[in-house]
Amino acid sequence: MSSILESAKGIIKEARELAYLGKYPEAIMKFKSQIDTLSQQLEKNKGDELLYQEWSKLVTDIKEELDLTQILFDFTKGNSNSNFELNKIAQQQPSPQKPRVVQECPEFQEDNRQPRLPFNQIPFQHHHRENTSPRSKANQFQISPPKQKAQDPDEIFFGGLRGGNDGKKPNSNNNNNNGNNLNQNPSNYFNNNSNNNNNNNNNNYNKRQTNNNPPPKDPDVWDPPSKKVDKPKQSQKDQKSNNIFKPQAQPQPQPKSNQRREYDKPWKNNAVGEKKPTEGQRKTFHDHVYPDGRGPDSDLIQMIEREVLDLTPNVSFEQIAELELAKDTLQEAVLLPIFMPQIFTGIRRPCKGVLLFGPPGTGKTMLAKAVATTGKTTFFNVSACTLASKWKGESEKLVRLLFEMAKFYAPSTIFFDEIDALGSKRGDNDGDSARKVKTQMLIEMDGVSGAATSGEERKTVMCLAATNRPWDLDEALIRRLERRIYIPLPSDTGRKLLFEINLNSLKLSPNIIWDQLVKKCDGYSGADIANVCREASMLPMRRKLKEEGGFQKLQQKYEDISNVPLEQKDFDEALKIVNKSVSTEYLKEYENWMKDFGAG
């Protein structure tokens, strides 16, 4: 059975192709033969309801297409005595859905008595016409075949004939076109961009031939948006369902495919900007700027809130080993102005920003997070790639939005990690975009701090920045980062503390000689020591794995492993695996830069 159906569908497709190419007689033959075949099958399948429904729908559709093809064939031969559905529809009384202007216009009603057949608007006629300019063809059909994006004849055939908007040019002026299109303005069956508000001017074909007609529309130019916005726009789906061969008075059942999409879409409710905040919920910056739920920069704001805003930095100064000088400077330069803003006025104004520089993995990010946690400020963790956008002008906009957002959530801390990637020295090789981002950053940094004028509530926004390459930074940026603090590699004491911090949750053998271990780690950064500890903590497990001879058995004994104390040999082994990551030659450069530019 299904093979008959499949072959029928194939032949119908061929028929549509023929019709599209203007080979109407052949198309009609094919359609007719298929109606006969399918009707016979239909009778045989009355028992199977599903199959019966599917086939009968197909037969109805083909009949419609056959009618249409027949009409087109008649017209191309100059014969207007078509006795198909089209005539019947055209002779119907105006439906109550039609706009008042259409119902009351006597001229229009007079016209309605005759079938309103599109004599000069016959679909596919352009295949037969000579001496017709491409522009005028396009005006008549709007969907000109060479421009068709869909090559499926089904789509081309119905897309053109049913008067559906092809989705490329939404026509806001079709609002009144929800009645029977055929009765109102036949030209609009094929020309969706026509202004239907001008029905009085357009509904008479004879009149359209006079010089008073509006100039032909350029199909590539959209209509200006309609000022009448009180009526809801007709959706594309609705427009497509305006089948001119079915009287519109009877509501058509929704196609199955549409019904299938009527399900809950919970992800839509969760999207930022789609939903208004309920009472008691934290008001976001997005809600503040776009109280209606959505705006032009919604996506950018959403991106910053998702990727940059860190609501739980959760790092305390106690978790950071050593670096006492840096901690004190940060507390004085950043935290005091937040806690006691009244003191920091006039010449004592808070500094514009703080630069933390030093070798990688020495705790710069941790310090910034500790500042945000202690000061209970909103923490924005920005990296160069977050602000890099492929769209022209978007990176600068992101910088601007970031600072606006920080002011909104104030007190805030904006932390620019690896700031050298954003604020390197300006040079001839800079792209336009990079230059603009730098300039925007400088402008914004100027705007965030400074003494509050009397009566004005200061929005405390602190800029912290970190870099491993301070010598690459632009001078203007260095000037704005008024405090520049060197974050060095940990000293002996610092390394010992780092071991303690990292191993505080593990069992340790009393036989470990810490001083020896600390000496061996000379030149290691905080991150390197964390790696040594991680590696050492894995070694008892690896040992046990070997002893027990299999992962499966070991799984049941996970408690035994976690309780095995770490031995000196574990650390010795770990130190063989983990090497220091900072080259000594760089250390000299940091010290030199500190001498020249440091302001700790």
Ligand X SMILES: Nc1ncnc2c1ncn2[C@@H]1O[C@H](COP(=O)(O)OP(=O)(O)OP(=O)(O)O)[C@@H](O)[C@H]1O
**Where is the binding site, in residues?**
358-365
501 touches ligand X by CB under 6 A? yes
**How far is the C-alpha of 310 from the C-alpha of 300, rounded, in Å?**
16
Give me the least distance between CB of 525 and ligand X, in Å please. 6
Site track 46-85 with ligand X (rule: CB under 6 A), x = hit: ----------------------------------------
- Neighbouring residues of 249: CB distance < 8 A, sequence distance ≥ 6: 95, 96, 97
Give me the least distance between CB of 263 and ligand X, in Å please. 44
When the beta carbons of 475 and 500 are compared against ligand X, the nearer one is 500
554 touches ligand X by CB under 6 A? no
Asked if residue 600 lies in contact with residue 329, where contact means CB atoms within 8 angstroms, the answer is yes
**How far is the C-alpha of 102 from the C-alpha of 121, rounded, in Å?**
21
When the beta carbons of 204 and 525 are compared against ligand X, the nearer one is 525
329 touches ligand X by CB under 6 A? no
470 touches ligand X by CB under 6 A? no
Instruction: Give the interface segment with ligand X, choosing from 71-79, 317-325, 343-351, 544-552 (CB under 6 A).
Output: 317-325
527 touches ligand X by CB under 6 A? yes
φ and ψ at 66, to 5 degrees?
A: -65, -45
Give me the least distance between CB of 444 and ligand X, in Å please. 23
**How far is the C-alpha of 587 from the C-alpha of 585, rounded, in Å?**
5
**How far is the C-alpha of 120 from the C-alpha of 477, rounded, in Å?**
70
When the beta carbons of 99 and 361 are compared against ligand X, the nearer one is 361
Site track 427-466 with ligand X (rule: CB under 6 A), x = hit: ---------------------------------------x
**How are strands ordered across the β-sheet holding 309-310?**
309-310, 378-382, 412-416, 461-467, 353-357, 483-486
Q: Which residues of 100-244 form beta strands (DSSP E)?
A: none
Q: Which of 303, 503, 530, 554 binds ligand X (CB under 6 A)?
A: 530
Considering only residues 352-371, where is the footprint of ligand X by CB under 6 A? 360-366
578 touches ligand X by CB under 6 A? no
The binding site for ATP comprises 358-365
421 touches ligand X by CB under 6 A? no
Instruction: Give the interface segment with ligand X, choosing from 49-57, 173-181, 253-261, 316-324 (CB under 6 A).
Output: 316-324
Give me the least distance between CB of 526 and ligand X, in Å please. 2
Give me the least distance between CB of 311 and ligand X, in Å please. 19
Residue with tokens 């020295």: 425
498 touches ligand X by CB under 6 A? yes
Residue 36 CA: distances (Å) to CA of 13, 44, 65, 87, 151: 16, 13, 14, 24, 28
Residue with tokens 């997005």: 286
When the beta carbons of 123 and 526 are compared against ligand X, the nearer one is 526
When the beta carbons of 322 and 570 are compared against ligand X, the nearer one is 322
- What sign does the CA torsion over 121, 123, 124, 128 have? negative
When the beta carbons of 30 and 364 are compared against ligand X, the nearer one is 364
The pair of three-digit structure tokens given for residue 322, joined into one six-digit string: 């050593």
Give me the least distance between CB of 434 and ligand X, in Å please. 21
Site track 167-206 with ligand X (rule: CB under 6 A), x = hit: ----------------------------------------
- The CB-nearest residue to ligand X is 526
The site for ligand X, by CB under 6 A, has a size of: 19
Give the containing element (helix H, strand E) for 547. helix 526-548
413 touches ligand X by CB under 6 A? no
When the beta carbons of 439 and 581 are compared against ligand X, the nearer one is 581
When the beta carbons of 7 and 316 are compared against ligand X, the nearer one is 316
Give me the least distance between CB of 369 and ligand X, in Å please. 8
The DSSP string of 319-370 is: GS-S-HHHHHHHIIIIIHHHH-TTTS-GGGPPPSEEEEE-STTSSHHHHHHH
506 touches ligand X by CB under 6 A? no
When the beta carbons of 322 and 444 are compared against ligand X, the nearer one is 322
526 touches ligand X by CB under 6 A? yes
As beta bridge partners, residue 414 has: 380, 463
Instruction: For residue 125, give the DSSP letter.
Output: G
**How far is the C-alpha of 246 from the C-alpha of 420, rounded, in Å?**
67
Instruction: Give the interface segment with ligand X, choosing from 19-27, 69-77, 134-142, 318-326 (CB under 6 A).
Output: 318-326
C-beta pairs of 5-12 under 8 Å, 24+ apart in sequence = 5/41, 5/54, 5/55, 5/58, 8/34, 8/37, 8/38, 8/58, 9/58, 12/58, 12/62, 12/65
Interior CA angle at 112 toward 64 and 226, to 5°? Answer: 85
When the beta carbons of 301 and 326 are compared against ligand X, the nearer one is 326
Asked if residue 437 lies in contact with residue 399, where contact means CB atoms within 8 angstroms, the answer is yes
When the beta carbons of 417 and 570 are compared against ligand X, the nearer one is 417
The pair of three-digit structure tokens given for residue 203, joined into one six-digit string: 């509904």
**How far is the C-alpha of 2 from the C-alpha of 58, rounded, in Å?**
13
Chain residues that interact with ligand X, rule: CB under 6 A:
320-323, 360-366, 417, 466, 468, 498, 501, 526-527, 530
